[in-house]
Structure 1
Amino acid sequence: MARALGWDIGGAHLKAALSEDDRVLKVWQMVTPIWRDFESLQSAVDRIDEEAGDVVSHVITMTGEVADVFPSRRTGVEQIARIMGERLSGDIRLYGGEAGFLSLGDARSNVFDIASANWHASATITAQRIEEALFIDMGSTTTDLVPVSDGKVRAKGHTDRDRLVSGELVYQGYTRTALMAVAREVPFIGRSIPVMNEFFATMADVQRVIGNLEEIDDLHEAADGTDKSIEGSRRRIARMVGMDAADARDGAWEWLAHAFAEAQVRAIHDAALKVLSHDEITDDAPLVVAGAGRPVLRRLAARLDRGVVDFSDLVDCASNVRDDIRRAAPASALSLLAAGR
């Protein structure tokens, strides 16, 4: 039986999924802040490779090449590919989206196919398993929106630049996005107040205060490096508007958190309308949702008056890894694509 590992290497997290034939068996997610050093990535790869056991093939995708530790994306792709090649054995491939499976030696000549192509793997599996849909994956930092129909990925862009322009990539994430990047002004106690351009709080604080956060989705330290409690999140959110948590009642901070959550879903809604305006999928096509931000995407589906299909419902898997697959759609998709080669 074909056993394959799909690897999704981000700037902040490493995700991997093990598949056998057409079934996902296990998923890993580890904190690997490569902008600090590569040691966390290297040790995580070693651990996963050991726990996975015998594997016929490895397929790698990445977004970590955009980390500012690298002087260019080209350097990032080449260095990440080199690290993986040094630590893994057997058949190792890089995923290049429409360019398919590439050898490690192709990293330099196919940089722009390989860079940030993880969304394409998830969309490809979605296109194979549902007639039509708008696939949306909201992770900790970004949101991908990709229409699929007739077994094909209908994306207009491939590079980050082109996808930003097309609305298919939105730099809004469920936990790590700084609040200063979500709204410039927010309603608070009956009036509008500007938001400070300071890294005082993140969307993890917002999700925690409004009761939407599963702590497994917030693996990095808080903006101030202190406690990740509701009280700590209120304190950080209050600083965004030049106040302390003691300056207003708890309910006021909850409403402020809702204001930031609303601003974020509006940004993703605008992107979805831009993508849907190409009229390549019908009004009946559902949203296939993945990522930590599924609660946000369900709100979006209601606004768009569309049904919702969870990405993990398209995948044959052990019941105990279903939630993990939702959080690691690209790695899971890659493992299935590799196992089916």
Structure 2
Amino acid sequence: MISMSIVGWDIGGVHTKAALVRYEADAVPDVRVVTRPFEVWRAKDRLPDLLRDVLAELTDRPPQAMALTMTAELSDVFRTKREGVRFVLDSVGIAFPKTPVYVLSLTGEWVPRAEAYDRPLDFAANNWLATALYVAEVYRNALVLDVGSTTTDVVPVVDGRVAALGRTDLDRLLHGELVYTGVLRTPLAAVVRSVPLRGRFCPVSSEYFAVTGDVYLVLGRIRPEDYTCPTPDGRPPTVEFARERLARLVCADIEQLTPAEIDAIADYIYERQLQQVETAVRKVRSRLGEPADLPVLPLGTGAFLAVEVARRMGLRLLEPPMAWGSAGGRVAPCVAAASLLTNWLMADGHEP
């Protein structure tokens, strides 16, 4: 293989992620990754500047090509997904007018950015497919369990092919292949209706007082620097403030609840979120006939949640592909997209 550098993008509504995958002859690819918090609805017109900043952090040389995936089109700053996809395509074009950009379609095709503009819905929420297609090239059988800040992907790979029934967000929700639960941004009333407290169950407030990031900060599952979304109260992502936020879930405060009581609430929410993900895994596996050997590939910011679900279900675990590097599993769609596009360009003799 000749020398080639490809950047893979996963442009979401609250995080923009990128991976530079550099190939040199037959050496193991060099992978660099960047994640930037960016809430599209707050300042969408700044997206081109952000993209340029992220690329500058990855490399001082322009890549030969870029591979694009996205989920930002769902943001309610756009009236339709069609509008959102086109906005992302435009933003990438403004940021990198001289770099060839290819977009992954929901049928697995690489399409030049300009052509994608004419059929935008074929490219909406395509990031999960990049991961699944690459995993299918590495593992014959696997269950991709990618737990992110906001959502969880449950994607089966069977006999070397992506065996998902859904392609769009709506269809994937219906089939249990997309679960709207994650380890940072999920409001806690979306996980539990009540929590154990002082010998009984206390209903929770549906106010935006705390999120799952507070739960995992208190439980030591994430570090403050992993809490890459705004906190509900605007205070820092520390254990002390996270406990304050969690106390308000039951309309209390730290003068009314002890740290032990708050931590017990956090642990209960963790258990309930595990059950949410396990329920989806069981639903997906059930239509496959509960295959005996469908090991779990845990990915994402919340890979620890995927690992625990697999352990409780007695399922074998897989390691992320070695070519992704140590950090690739946290931004799997980016690394997968860059790798897939490289293979496509090389195999078919396409000019970047």
- TM-score bracket, shorter-length normalisation: over 0.9
Task: Give the aligned partner of residue 327 of structure 1.
Answer: 330
Q: Is the 8 A contact 1:20 1:339 kept in 2?
A: no
Structure 2 counterparts to residues 21-32 of structure 1, below 5 A: 21=23, 23-32=29-38
Query: Deviations along 1:258-296, whole A, 9 cap, x unmatched?
Result: 111111111111111110011267222210011010111
Q: Find out whether 1:340 has 2:343 as its counterpart.
A: yes
Task: Give the aligned partner of residue 189 of structure 2.
Answer: 180
Distance in 1 (CA, whole Å) between partners of 2:206 and 2:324 is 44
Structure 2 counterparts to residues 76-95 of structure 1, below 5 A: 76-88=84-96, 89-95=98-104
Q: Is the 8 A contact 2:184 2:229 kept in 1?
A: no
Task: Give the aligned partner of residue 13 of structure 1.
Answer: 15
TM score, norm. by length of structure 2: 0.91
Residues 81 and 107 (structure 1 numbering): CA distance in 2 closer, same or farther, change over 3 Å?
same
Q: Is the 8 A contact 1:24 1:332 kept in 2?
A: no
Distance in 1 (CA, whole Å) between partners of 2:290 and 2:122 is 25
Distance in 2 (CA, whole Å) between partners of 1:42 and 1:13 is 14
Residues 228 and 265 (structure 1 numbering): CA distance in 2 closer, same or farther, change over 3 Å?
same
Task: Give the aligned partner of residue 275 of structure 1.
Answer: 284
Distance in 1 (CA, whole Å) between partners of 2:228 and 2:247 is 22
Question: How far is 1:17 from its partner?
Answer: 0.6
Task: Give the aligned partner of residue 348 of structure 2.
Answer: none
Task: Give the aligned partner of residue 70 of structure 1.
Answer: 78
Amino acid at match of 1:16: A
Q: Find out whether 1:154 has 2:163 as its counterpart.
A: yes
Amino acid at match of 2:343: G
Question: How far is 1:137 from its partner?
Answer: 0.5
How many residue pairs match? The answer is 335
Residues 98 and 109 (structure 1 numbering): CA distance in 2 closer, same or farther, change over 3 Å?
same
Q: For 1:36, what is the secondary structure of its paired residue?
A: coil
Distance in 1 (CA, whole Å) between partners of 2:324 and 2:242 is 36
Q: For 1:8, what is the secondary structure of its paired residue?
A: strand
Distance in 1 (CA, whole Å) between partners of 2:121 and 2:143 is 24
Q: For 1:30, what is the secondary structure of its paired residue?
A: strand
Q: Is the 8 A contact 1:234 1:253 kept in 2?
A: yes
Distance in 2 (CA, whole Å) between partners of 1:325 and 1:141 is 18
Task: Give the aligned partner of residue 201 of structure 1.
Answer: 210
Residues 174 and 76 (structure 1 numbering): CA distance in 2 closer, same or farther, change over 3 Å?
same
Q: Is the 8 A contact 2:85 2:121 kept in 1?
A: no
Question: How far is 1:255 from its partner?
Answer: 0.6
Residues 281 and 16 (structure 1 numbering): CA distance in 2 closer, same or farther, change over 3 Å?
farther
Q: For 2:86, what is the secondary structure of its paired residue?
A: helix
Structure 2 counterparts to residues 64-143 of structure 1, below 5 A: 64-88=72-96, 89-143=98-152
Distance in 2 (CA, whole Å) between partners of 1:28 and 1:335 is 14
Question: How far is 1:90 from its partner?
Answer: 2.4
Structure 1's consecutive aligned runs of 4 or more residues displaced over 6 angstroms after TM superposition are none
Distance in 1 (CA, whole Å) between partners of 2:129 and 2:55 is 24
Amino acid at match of 1:75: E
Task: Give the aligned partner of residue 62 of structure 2.
Answer: 54
Task: Give the aligned partner of residue 224 of structure 1.
Answer: 233
Residues 339 and 99 (structure 1 numbering): CA distance in 2 closer, same or farther, change over 3 Å?
closer
Task: Give the aligned partner of residue 33 of structure 1.
Answer: 39
Question: How far is 1:24 from its partner?
Answer: 4.2
TM score, norm. by length of structure 1: 0.94
Of the structure 1 ranges 155-164 and 25-34, higher mean CA displacement relative to structure 2 is found in 25-34
Question: How far is 1:15 from its partner?
Answer: 0.5
Residues 31 and 100 (structure 1 numbering): CA distance in 2 closer, same or farther, change over 3 Å?
same
Distance in 2 (CA, whole Å) between partners of 1:329 and 1:280 is 27
State percent identity of aligned pairs: 33
Of the structure 1 ranges 170-179 and 92-101, higher mean CA displacement relative to structure 2 is found in 92-101
Higher RCO (C-alpha 8 Å, min separation 6) = 1
Distance in 2 (CA, whole Å) between partners of 1:180 and 1:8 is 28
Task: Give the aligned partner of residue 322 of structure 2.
Answer: 315
Question: How far is 1:39 from its partner?
Answer: 4.8
Query: Deviations along 1:66-117, whole A, 9 cap, x unmatched?
Result: 0011011000000110110111122111111324111222334432321001
Residues 281 and 273 (structure 1 numbering): CA distance in 2 closer, same or farther, change over 3 Å?
closer
Question: How far is 1:198 from its partner?
Answer: 0.3
Amino acid at match of 1:327: R
Q: For 1:77, what is the secondary structure of its paired residue?
A: helix
- Specify every segment of 5 or more residues in structure 2 that has no aligned partner in the other structure, as ranges: 345-352
Task: Give the aligned partner of residue 349 of structure 2.
Answer: none
Amino acid at match of 1:130: Y
